[in-house]
Amino acid sequence: SRKYHQAIFLFVIVLIIAGFFYRVSIKDALAVWNRRRVLPSLQTKQQVSVAELPAEINLAVPFVPQAPYQVWDAVHDETCEEASLMMADAYYKDIKKVTPATAEAGLLKLVDYQKKTLGFFEDTDAAQTAQILRDYFGYKNIAVTYDPSIADIKKELAAGRPVIVPVAGKLLGNPYFRGGGPDYHMLVIKGYTKNGFFITNDPGTRRGADYLYKFDKLYQAINDWDSQKQTLSGRKAMIVVK
């Protein structure tokens, strides 16, 4: 229709202007728009029914990048775990959006807390990350499940619970990662689509909101950290607030 074509024309013009003034990649912007256009409707935890596994679900988890101001220094290279925890916490507190200033302050507070309590903040494994959810954020019932299946992940999402997973970052194949991605990484799974994709909030890129990974791709990348050997453990794990 004429109105449809006018809307598309105006959208393209806006993208061109944004690309000129803000150096936004038109290709990236179109990819994000197209991705979000086909996503399931957002659901809060109050709207979720556990009567049966839905064909698709998309929990309203606000996005927190690990480098809110795109400063990739020695600290922000390592704050994917902190960003993932902040996203889960914001969801359970019904926070709709986390500003860059709030995100930055929260990340640095978490870094400082871990330095004081653990002696380090880099590369916390699933168990250590879950303990931070208990001790710092105050959630009492935290489950760390080892060797979960894809079905197990989907069941948690269907119950209205975002799933935090540790992953081998380079296995994700995310084109927006620098240098192919980190060896060890952490992200939030917030839903899944009926055509075989997990919906994630991946803090490792500013384009990580609602980022889609194929079921098998993400599942194969799930890999916990061995804190003793300082390397990937080879074991799958997921963290959930019950």
| Tens-place pLDDT, residues 190-210 | 999 999 999 999 999 999 999
Mean pLDDT of 144-166: 97
Could you give the percent of the chain with pLDDT greater than 90?
Answer: 78
pLDDT for 34 beyond 90 = no
- Global pTM value: 0.83
Instruction: Determine the Cα–Cα distance for residues 101 and 145; give it in Å rounded to an integer.
Output: 33
Instruction: Determine the Cα–Cα distance for residues 158 and 153; give it in Å rounded to an integer.
Output: 9
For residue 241, the cross-strand partners are 142
What is the crossing angle of helices 80-92 and 126-135, to 10°? 50
pLDDT for 49 beyond 80 = no
Q: In the prediction, which pLDDT does 52 show?
A: 74
pLDDT for 19 beyond 90 = no
128-162 per-residue burial string, b: 16 or more CB within 10 A, e: under 16? bbbbbbeebbebeebebbeebeeeebbebbbebbb
Q: In the prediction, which pLDDT does 42 show?
A: 78
**1 vs 161: which has the higher pLDDT:** 161
Instruction: Determine the Cα–Cα distance for residues 79 and 203; give it in Å rounded to an integer.
Output: 9
Q: In the prediction, which pLDDT does 85 show?
A: 98
Q: In the prediction, which pLDDT does 242 show?
A: 93
Mean pLDDT of the chain: 89
Q: In the prediction, which pLDDT does 41 show?
A: 76
Question: Around Cβ 190, how many Cβ atoms within 10 Å?
Answer: 27
Q: In the prediction, which pLDDT does 7 show?
A: 63
| Tens-place pLDDT, residues 52-79 | 789 999 999 999 999 999 999 999 999 9
